[in-house]
Amino acid sequence: MKIIKAKVLGYCMGVRRAVEIAGREAAGAGTSGVFTIGPLIHNPQVLESLRKKGVDVLNEDRVPDDLGGHTLIIRAHGISPDLETSLRNCGARLVDATCPKVHASQMKARSLSAEGCRIFLAGEQHHGEVIGIQGYAPDCIVVADPGEAGKAAEALRAEAPDTRCALLGQTTISRDEFEEIGNTLKEYFPGIKIIDTICGATRDRQEALRELCSAVDAVIIIGGKASSNTRRLLAIAEKLGKPAWLAETKDDLPPDIGKYGTVGLSAGASTPGYIIDEIEEALKKL
């Protein structure tokens, strides 16, 4: 079997930064508690590694009233300003590990909303990043696909046809999804501002996968099953007609993967290098 790795795979800048911040906070915590608000990133192996270092996950819906003396780390996906205020009121020391790209999207949403612009946000309704951005533009409309976008735009046009609109995207949405949603919204609001907030690392990773798919018989996408950008990589490979599987660890490799002559490896933005290496070594032994 020949194994080819995508030119871009694994940790992005925002994830690497968040993991490093959490590691530093754990190392200097002493007897104080260190917590993240929701999962720091969407990779269970990394979260378990951080837990062993003393970094635990707090459910944002069940935060204790008194966290004086403890450190709370804001996850890479960011949180809403209201949640941030309530956390400060709990007495905790807040450390912001929000990805700079996500923070830029939050600020763009806030400024557009302040200008009276109605925002469509292309992304997953229950994803942490989307929830956080909604906090900066409470009346924004989240749409997951062109069908949802069309229904939402039709309803808004019927209610307020002269509304100034803008489209932002979850930083990990695929380029194709974002463009399709944008084209749908233009049918209802031709003057809509299309603001590409897709992270450059996301675009590069997706383009590297497309290039990889042209040279392999099958693809393994390595990463957490809860990771939005990892699932989108899987969808891209499948859309290109390649047999593709998502694997969190080497134990998730499909039993018949050995029948393919050339296998490609790609990985989500929250996948650590050592897991990529472990899966590559497991494939070499087949």
On whether 140 is known to bind a ligand per the annotation, the reply is no
129 assigned to active site: yes
Both tokens assigned to 131: 């929830």
On whether 199 is known to bind a ligand per the annotation, the reply is yes
Contacts of 26 (CB under 8 A, 6+ apart): 34, 50, 53, 54, 55
Domains of the chain listed by start with CATH number: 2-10+201-285 (3.40.1010.20), 13-98 (3.40.50.11270), 101-194 (3.40.1010.20)
Contacts of 181 (CB under 8 A, 6+ apart): 120, 122, 143, 145, 146, 149, 167, 169
Q: Do residues 153 and 184 lie in contact, with contact meaning Cβ atoms separated by under 8 Å?
A: yes
- Rounded CA-CA distance 153/186 in Å is 9
Q: Do residues 247 and 268 lie in contact, with contact meaning Cβ atoms separated by under 8 Å?
A: no
Treating both helix axes as pointing N-terminal to C-terminal, what angle do 128-136 and 81-89 enclose, rounded to 10 degrees?
Answer: 90
Closest CA to 19 of 273, 280, 231: 273
Both tokens assigned to 93: 């020391």
On whether 99 is known to bind a ligand per the annotation, the reply is yes
Which residue in 25, 84, 124, 129 is the catalytic one?
A: 129
Helix (H, G, I), strand (E, B) or coil at 162: coil
On whether 105 is known to bind a ligand per the annotation, the reply is no
Say which residue the tokens 């290039």 belong to. Answer: 211
Q: Do residues 174 and 206 lie in contact, with contact meaning Cβ atoms separated by under 8 Å?
A: yes
Q: Do residues 56 and 33 lie in contact, with contact meaning Cβ atoms separated by under 8 Å?
A: yes
pLDDT tens for the chain, 286 residues long, are: 999 999 999 999 999 999 999 999 999 876 578 999 999 999 999 999 999 999 999 988 888 888 888 899 999 999 999 999 989 888 889 999 999 999 999 999 999 999 999 999 999 999 999 999 999 999 999 999 999 999 999 999 999 999 999 999 999 999 999 999 999 999 999 999 999 999 999 999 999 999 999 999 999 999 999 999 999 999 999 999 999 999 999 999 999 999 999 999 999 999 999 999 999 999 999 8
On whether 103 is known to bind a ligand per the annotation, the reply is no
Closest CA to 145 of 109, 127, 120: 120
What would the DSSP string read from start to end of 14-43? HHHHHHHHHHHHHHT-TTS-EEEES-SSS-
